[in-house]
Structure 1
């Protein structure tokens, strides 16, 4: 680290605006040694040069691909690997992700074709008024979500099981479920902030706690949880929901679920809705 800098160096706030991450995230990456700014002003403020920003972009690509920050750091700091190799590696991983997304899309199309759209109950229960839904689930709750869910999953056993379990729940019961879900998500975000690694004993326990919360609605196997976790990073709405709890939580949770499933004999790459 040096106090010398050029006029082209950028402050942490300017870099945050440029690359689309929060200042808090950049501070965290500096603290764990993932992306350390190359310079400082005389008053101690961080300054990033062009190479620093290039590294940030590489971190963002790897994070989008689902890699943990510690793993990204090891890859980027490998002295035997040059930037060109990184680009080829990223391209390979992107092609693999596209392949997985295409397989998921085909599976969803098949579910839609088999869906019985006529007489299943909503997963939110018919006893909640629109006002109660907004109060419990938040003002951004959109009743269209349940229509979309019915379109995707309406013919599945999980949907029927959820309808049977939740159809008679009143507002107080839904509020209890919502409070429990908030507690689970807060615990996940807290673990992320402490740097808990997916695959660790603590992360596996949290993944199981998350699965248990889903199990209040229907029996969720580790394989089914993996399928759900894919949506947490691939659907912007899920990603925004979790990342509002903590920057990068959606990716972290997906990896935690996948590693927990792997410890139970499930291959995340081939997991299906069963």
Structure 2
């Protein structure tokens, strides 16, 4: 039995234009023609089309499919194995993207309840990079401190954020002044600034023992997106993130583990 191009297109779920293209390229030439010159496909043609569509679904190019169909024994198995490997990698990538997207949704849902205008008014140049936020969510997903920080951040009022950002701006100005004045990172002034930052995190987000503060500082030094959360890019200096990281580590080393500072003892 023979079938018209329209019938085959309907059977296979492809367009007539696609079948015409396959014919022009020699990938699938119909087995016959009607008296009027119209394409007619037989069962062997349909079987070949089924193979073409199978390989297309796997992502092979038309050139690759033509080579496979020309000689199915010449490298077809190797091609399929390579495609299987690439598909497995793509599945893993998409799974990762799905997880990151889910975390990004969580970040947005537990974010600061402000309009875009209010966010700009309060945060100014502080950049909250969503790509860093979602990676941080994945990295610290099982951290009780991370969960507490997100919950407390979501509960802050607009006025809370004003106070928080004003406090951070004062600290940032003092940090820049110390750095520009050449104060050593392991000196008293720099370490006191590191301690103020640690107390700031504890006051507004979550308890921040020295070990946690060191990890936060390591992120500042390693990832510009993290450092931009405390020092906007226009205010940054070369080496400033490393300077703060060193000061945090020095401050952690000078304090007995778990011993509260006066700033922590005064907190409500």
Provide the TM-score with structure 1 as the length reference. Answer: 0.48
Greater percentage in helix: 2
Q: Which protein shows a greater Rg?
A: 2
